[in-house]
Amino acid sequence: MFWSEQEVLDAGPERDALWAAMLEDRAWYADYQAKTERVIPLVRLAETEAITD
């Protein structure tokens, strides 16, 4: 388990490139996007600290 910092990617070329890469093996997400006018945001979770018990 780890703590993470989130970053919402809701617009821009980086989000667009990641969305296109995701659609390569998850093509059905294009159907979700087609059903709405808003851009579906992506959330990046960057590992910041491992949790040990």
Q: How many domains does the chain have?
A: 1
The model's pTM is: 0.74
DSSP letter string over 12-25? SHHHHHHHHHHHTT
- pLDDT tens-digit profile, the chain (53 residues): 778 889 999 999 999 999 999 999 999 999 999 999 999 999 999 877 777 76
Residue 18, domain extent: 2-50
What whole-number distance in Å separates Cα of residue 19 and Cα of residue 32? 12
20-24 contacts: CB < 8 A, separation 24 or more?
none
What whole-number distance in Å separates Cα of residue 53 and Cα of residue 47? 17
